[in-house]
Structure 1
Amino acid sequence: MATFDEGFKGAIPSILVVLGVAMAAPIVLPAVASVSRPLAKTLIKGYLALAETVKEYAAEAGENISDLLAECKAEHAAEMAAAARAAKDKS
């Protein structure tokens, strides 16, 4: 059966890394925060601009599809009316 000391054999390096990170955090985090905040704002602004552009393109595409649908309906109605007149003239 494993002893108490054998259970901590692989944990010592991990504990040292955690302690090192904890000691460096007060120094590193403010520096990272001062750089990451402007970067995050820039990314968010870019996302908002992209979202607005996508909205505009989607609206334009929707209008084009609506126009195409209206044209097809009008042509179909004209074809059906012409077919009905042709059938009436034959009889």
Structure 2
Amino acid sequence: MGLFDGGIKGNVVTGLAIGVGTAMVAPMIIKVLASVAKPLTKAAIKGGITLYETNKEKLAEMKEMVEDLTAEAKAEVEAELLAASQEPEKP
């Protein structure tokens, strides 16, 4: 890496030139990135809304299924804890 072997490390002017160049180019790069990111973000949000609106019934069914499974798991855990607390202690 000949560029870094005493070139930039020891040369303050080169470092300042790179810093100034970056400061001048950064606003243009940020503007371009913002112009691309905003439509992509909006498209993702619109897609999410559309997905939600077209699948409300399926989501409700899925929610009910998850609630049922959670209730079953909770009942099993409580039964296991009750059974464990009623076992006689081993000497």
**Pairwise TM-score range, normalised by the shorter structure:** 0.5 to 0.7
Asked which structure has the greater CA Rg, the reply is 1
Decide which structure has greater helix share.
Answer: 1
Structure 2 unpaired stretches of 5+: 1-22
Share of identical aligned residues, percent? 4
How many residues are aligned here? 68
Which residue is equivalent to 2:89?
Answer: 68
Distance 2:48 2:84 in 1: 50
Which residue is equivalent to 1:57?
Answer: 80
Structure 1 unpaired stretches of 5+: 73-91
TM-score, normalising length from structure 2? 0.57
Opposite residue 81 of structure 2, the aligned amino acid is A
Distance 1:23 1:39 in 2: 22
Two-structure CA RMSD over aligned residues (Å): 2.3
Higher RCO (CA < 8 A, seq sep 6+):
2
Distance 1:31 1:55, change over 3 A: same
